Structure formats: structure tokens, C-alpha cells
Amino acid sequence: MAEIEKMTWDSDLDEKEAIEQQKENDFVLLPEGEYDFKIHKFEKAFYTAKPDAKIPSCPVANISLLIKNDEGETSYVHEKIFVHGGNKWQLLQFFTCLGLRKHGDGSTKMPWDQVAGTTGRCKIGVRTYKHKDGGDRTVNTVKKWLDPVEEQTSDEEYDF
């Protein structure tokens, strides 16, 4: 998790940063479907497993995707990709989706340093879970990282 900036009673407020922070916190639930996205934020972290956890302690990529829906509203989808041996399929999908590797490349080092700001396409789903306060919450989640589409001859380009 990113370190939170310490402030004092006399700290300056940066309006641009505050507006961006508010946009990230405004929640727009996307319907299930395929969407173009841009990697808005990428952060390396470490997951410490509890004794009864299904996955081991491992590095984790915290990713914030910026997605525009058909109405032009932007939504941020936050995704975690756990970096462990049982998750190689998802890591392969992720880097292929971003165009950072191609099918048939064989064994390659994961290019984490190239992830920030890249674009791709993914299949978004809707997931409901029990929040720690006991209430139900509904969020978007990436169901699949999609292969890049072949270069098209049209002038249409997705604009973030």
C-alpha cells in the first residue's frame, strides 16, 4: 500500500491532487463486459499469508485500471495480481494483454518496469463480497486479461 503523505495543520492543499484523489474514490460499477483500459497506477507490495490462507506469502502487484464506459464515465478498477507459481497463467495473460510479451516468446523475465501507463483490454466481471462491517459490497474485478487485437486499418483509436 502506498505511504500516506503526512500533513500538519499548516500544510498546503494541492487542488489538482485532491480532485484526482476524489475521482479515484468515486465509484462507478461497470456492467460485465469487455473494456479498454489504461494502467493508472502500479505498485509492488508483499502479501503475508495467514496460516489458513489458500495462497502463500508472495509479492503482489496492486494495479489501478482507468476504464471509460460507453457513456464516457471513468471508473477505476483495483486489481491485485499475486506473484506465485500457481498464478503463472494470469501473469502470462497480463503481460500479453499489455503487449509486453507475445505468444511463443517462451520463458521471459516479467517486465514490471514497463507496466505503468500501458493500455490493454480485459473482461470485467461483478463480484459481491461480505465487508468487514457485515454488509454486502459489490465491486468490479478482472475476469480475464485479453490478447491485444490485431492492428486495424481504421483511424479509430481509444482515447484516455
Per-residue confidence (pLDDT) for residue 1, from 0 to 100:
46
Q: What mean pLDDT do residues 57-80 have?
A: 91
Q: Where are the domains of the chain?
A: 27-146
Q: Considering the domain 27-146 in this protein, what is its CATH number?
A: 2.40.50
Per-residue confidence (pLDDT) for residue 158, from 0 to 100:
53
Distance CA 143, CA 33 (A): 10
Give the pLDDT confidence of 81-122 residue by residue, as tens digits.
999 999 999 999 999 999 999 999 888 899 999 999 999 999
Closest C-alpha to 124, from 61, 58, 78? 78
Per-residue confidence (pLDDT) for residue 42, from 0 to 100:
95
